[in-house]
């Protein structure tokens, strides 16, 4: 029996979503390079390695409980079916009833999103958190935090019923991770040497700017899977439109952030530009399917400028955020979520089937109000639960390594070896006098 046009269309859509899932999973490479490059050499192996560890933990926890809690049938607060996903049970997930893509591919795609949100959260833990905390909190985040807001917005929960527009997760993915990073940063307190007694800040530069640039480029490319893949199909061609708005916003964020750093600091600051790229990507994630290209440029440019100024402000407030997780993913996530309430067109809102037109397109304040309510509820939930969990961990096993371990570096103190052994180990093989005469070798 030959395949029908419907069969071919479904196969093409499924292939696109599978490719998108792979692109989003590859964003973990970007996070590893970005975070390792933005921190010090003595912690590089630890920072990169824990990315692999936490993705593995997240995968198991999301399979067991996270997917069902996020997308399973339940009530307006949480999903209550589909636990220990068997790869076939689509009837437990009404949220995907209209999708033609196999449920197993949808699971992988949504797992990649949850893992990105968790990776963002780790920015606030960088260079001072115990490895044991990563084990425990990875499970708790994937089961108790991420699925709740995910269900509210994407799984048929109360915000979905109100028509909250968050196409690919400015709030669901990025703001959740950023709120956790902020809570962790506050509870862990600043790194040793970051602030002076008078409150002034010392710059602690990352050890490899090239790694950071490569990480951002990996993330930029992976975001096409993130946003365009969220169409859950390719045969309609709409995924191409989403890719265009995503790229325009990102380009505007890069240019605007570099320009504002040049104006304010007198030098074109590369890290500021990289943060502008990521902030624009975060902001356009909610609105990429709802706004016109010109609005995407505005959204991206505003994001780049916002993240520049807020990163400076948070630093002055004594919040030591090593990779600027809250400025990039939090502030930009808020702006991106609100932007649909301003720029969403009635045609695109109808096409996507979520919410209505924004303020600038005759929609009044309704959609903007829904977006603001969604933000308030999501931020409150994540902040409270993350604060409770991390406070309990702090009071029991402790969140932070000892001062000695932090000074030595987490590569050595947590893993027993250096990420750059040839540069950091004092031992060297040097020729002795007898070796120079060709008779023996001495290890000193």
> Mean pLDDT across the stretch 286-313?
97
Contact yes or no for 337/175 (Cβ under 8 A): yes
Tens of pLDDT, residues 60-114? 999 999 999 999 999 999 999 999 999 887 888 999 988 889 999 999 999 999 9
Contact yes or no for 255/277 (Cβ under 8 A): no
Residue 443 predicted with pLDDT over 70 = no
Query: What per-residue confidence (pLDDT) applies to 444?
Result: 31
What is the pTM (predicted TM-score) of this model?
Answer: 0.93
- Which of 138, 104, 142, 145 has the alpha carbon at shortest distance from 21? 104
User: 1.10.3430.10, 1.20.1600.10, 1.10.3720.10, 3.90.230.10: which CATH number matches 6-413?
Assistant: 1.10.3430.10
Residue 14 predicted with pLDDT over 70 = yes
Query: What per-residue confidence (pLDDT) applies to 90?
Result: 83
Mean pLDDT lowest for which of 110-119, 283-292, 411-420? 411-420
Contact yes or no for 170/378 (Cβ under 8 A): no
Mean pLDDT lowest for which of 41-55, 90-104, 278-292? 90-104
The more confident residue out of 55 and 440 is 55
Reduce the DSSP state of residue 429 to 3 states and report it. strand
Terminal-to-terminal C-alpha distance of the chain: 74
Query: What per-residue confidence (pLDDT) applies to 427?
Result: 47
Beta strands, E only, 60-177: none
Query: What per-residue confidence (pLDDT) applies to 88?
Result: 83
Reduce the DSSP state of residue 230 to 3 states and report it. helix
Task: Give residue limits of the domains in the chain.
Answer: 6-413
**3 class by beta-carbon count within 10 Å (0-12 exposed, 13-18 middle, 19+ buried):** exposed
User: pLDDT band at 7, cuts 50/70/90?
Assistant: confident
Tens of pLDDT, residues 312-351? 999 999 999 999 999 999 999 999 999 999 999 999 999 9
């Amino acid at each position: 029996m030959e395949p029908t046009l419907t069969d071919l269309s479904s196969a093409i859509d499924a292939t696109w979503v599978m490719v998108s899932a792979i692109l989003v999973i590859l964003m973990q490479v970007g996070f590893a390079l970005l975070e390792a490059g933005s921190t010090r050499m003595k912690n590089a192996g630890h920072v990169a390695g824990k990315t692999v560890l936490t993705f593995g933990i997240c995968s198991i926890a999301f399979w067991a409980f996270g997917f069902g809690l996020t997308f399973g049938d339940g009530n307006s607060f949480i999903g209550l079916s589909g636990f220990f996903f068997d790869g076939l049970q689509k009837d437990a997930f009404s949220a995907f009833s209209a999708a033609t893509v196999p449920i197993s591919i949808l699971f992988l795609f949504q797992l990649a999103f949850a893992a990105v949100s968790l990776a963002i959260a780790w920015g606030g833990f960088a260079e001072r958190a115990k490895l044991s905390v990563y084990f425990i909190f990875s499970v708790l985040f994937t089961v108790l935090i991420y699925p709740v807001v995910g269900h509210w917005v994407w799984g048929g929960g109360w915000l979905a019923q109100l028509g909250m527009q968050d196409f690919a997760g400015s709030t669901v993915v990025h703001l959740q991770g950023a709120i956790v990073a902020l809570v962790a940063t506050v509870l862990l307190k600043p790194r040793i040497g970051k602030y002076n007694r008078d409150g002034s800040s010392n710059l602690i530069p990352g050890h490899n700017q090239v790694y950071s640039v490569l990480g951002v480029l990996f993330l930029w490319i992976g975001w096409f899977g993130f946003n365009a893949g969220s169409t859950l199909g390719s045969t309609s061609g709409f995924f191409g439109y989403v890719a265009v708005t995503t790229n325009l916003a990102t380009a505007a964020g890069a240019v605007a952030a570099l320009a504002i750093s040049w104006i304010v600091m007198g030098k074109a600051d590369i890290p500021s530009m990289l943060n502008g790229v990521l902030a624009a990507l975060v902001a356009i994630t909610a609105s990429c399917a709802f706004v016109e290209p010109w609005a995407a440029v505005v959204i991206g440019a505003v994001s780049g400028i916002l993240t520049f100024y807020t990163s400076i402000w948070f630093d002055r407030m004594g919040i030591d955020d090593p990779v600027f997780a809250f400025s990039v993913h939090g502030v930009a996530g808020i702006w991106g979520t609100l932007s649909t309430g301003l720029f969403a067109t009635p045609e695109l809102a109808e096409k996507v089937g979520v919410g209505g037109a924004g303020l600038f397109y005759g929609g009044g304040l309704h959609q903007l109000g829904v977006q603001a309510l969604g933000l308030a509820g999501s931020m409150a939930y994540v902040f409270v639960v993350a604060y409770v969990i991390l406070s309990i961990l702090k009071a029991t096993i402790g969140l932070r390594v000892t001062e000695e371990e932090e000074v030595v570096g987490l590569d050595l103190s947590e893993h027993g070896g250096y990420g750059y052994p040839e540069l950091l180990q004092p031992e060297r093989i040097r020729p002795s006098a007898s070796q120079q005469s060709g008779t023996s070798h001495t290890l000193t």
